[in-house]
Copies of this chain bind each other. A is one copy, B any other.
Amino acid sequence: MIVVKIGGSQGVSLDLVSQDIAALVHQGQKVTVVHGGSAETNEISEKLGYPPRFVTSVSGFSSRYTDRQTLEIFAMVTNGKINTLLVERLQKEGVNAFGLSGVDGRVMVAHRKEAIRIVENGKQRMLRDDYTGKIVSVNGALLQSLIKAGLTPVIAPLAISPEGDAVNVDADRAAAMVAGAIEAEQLIILTNVPGLMRNFPDESTLIPHLPRLGLEQALSFAEGRMKKKVLGASEALDLGVAKVIFADGRVTHPLFDALAGKGTVISA
């Protein structure tokens, strides 16, 4: 069982990733896909006259400010456009893909962070009415029943709060939680860089192998969005996933390269 996380950043080739997923599925491998959608949500938000806003938390993480209207655009783009078209593309490759988000059947439950403390112009302030969340549980049994029926789940990064609010969740960490819940052996996180670099963006500083103990230190030098991937890797290993691979999604065989050890391999 492999979980593949496809980045929402521009540059990752969905065609090439889909072809590799199909080849793996046709070899008998079970694959579950989790995808993002940040770049396309930004584009469509701009077109709809509701440009995205990003905030930086006091602990230094950057994230999308998701008021109710942003949440609805995010759901529309990730669960409607990206998810549907990815399922269609996989179906064309002969994979019986099945799209869902964590809201469906409460597959992913997240605590909504209604108020977050952010840093703006050097000052701290509270931001309210945010629809983002941190996943607390994934219904692995429901995903397993889809997989047993011969389906390939394709999951959009939305979860539901215990109160029933849909929330935007981080797709890397969602992929980690899903990998743990379905007892995947490997989690491959595809992105638009070759892997984790000690001095981003100097590719000569790519780290080919990182032991679990090196993850905490990696958090200090990982750039921007790579920080959340490092957190996701850590969570996946904690949940029993044997190996996490950060790999380049822009190459001809993104998944076969990753499985052959290219990128950054993180293991216990």
**Interface of A toward B, CB cutoff 8 Å:** 44, 47-49, 72, 75-81, 83-85, 87-88, 91-92, 96-101, 103-106, 142, 145, 149, 151, 158, 160, 163-166
Given known contacts A76-B80, A80-B80, A87 and B99 CB-to-CB distance under 8 angstroms = no
CB pair A100 B103 closer than 8 Å: no
Residue of A77, A81, A88 ringed by the most chain B CB atoms within 10 A = A88
A72-B85, A80-B76 known; A91+B158 contact, CB < 8 A: no
Q: How far is the CA of A78 from the CA of B98 in the complex (A)?
A: 16
Considering only CB atoms, which chain B residue lies closest to A90 in the complex? Answer: B164
Docked pose: A91 CA to B48 CA in angstroms = 28
Given contacts A99-B104, A104-B100, contact A80 B84 (CB under 8 A): yes
Report chain B residues within 8 Å CB of A76.
44, 76-77, 80-81, 84
Given contacts A48-B47, A77-B76, A104-B100, contact A88 B142 (CB under 8 A): no
Which 3 A-B residue pairings sit nearest by Cβ, starting from the closest?
Answer: A80-B80, A92-B164, A76-B80
- Asked whether B80 lies within 8 Å of A83 as measured between CB atoms, the reply is yes
Q: A160: nearest residue on chain B (CB-CB)?
A: B91
Bound CA span A2–B199, Å:
60
User: Are B96 and A105 touching (Cβ within 8 A)?
Assistant: yes
A79 contacts which chain B residues (CB < 8 A)? 79-80, 83-84, 99
Residues of B within 8 A of A83 (CB): 79-80
A-B contact pairs, 20 of them (CB 8 A): A44-B76, A72-B81, A76-B77, A76-B80, A76-B84, A79-B84, A80-B81, A80-B84, A84-B101, A85-B166, A88-B160, A88-B164, A91-B160, A91-B164, A97-B104, A98-B105, A99-B100, A99-B104, A105-B151, A142-B149
Instruction: Point out the residues of chain B lying under 8 angstroms from A103, CB to CB.
Output: 84, 87-88, 91, 99
Contacts of A91 in B (CB 8 A): 103, 106, 160, 164
Inter-chain CA distance A194–B145, complex, in Å, is 41
- A84 to chain B: which residues have CB within 8 Å? 75-76, 79-80, 101, 103, 158, 166
Cα(A150)–Cα(B50), bound, Å = 38
Chain B residues closer than 8 Å to A106, beta-carbon distance: 91, 96
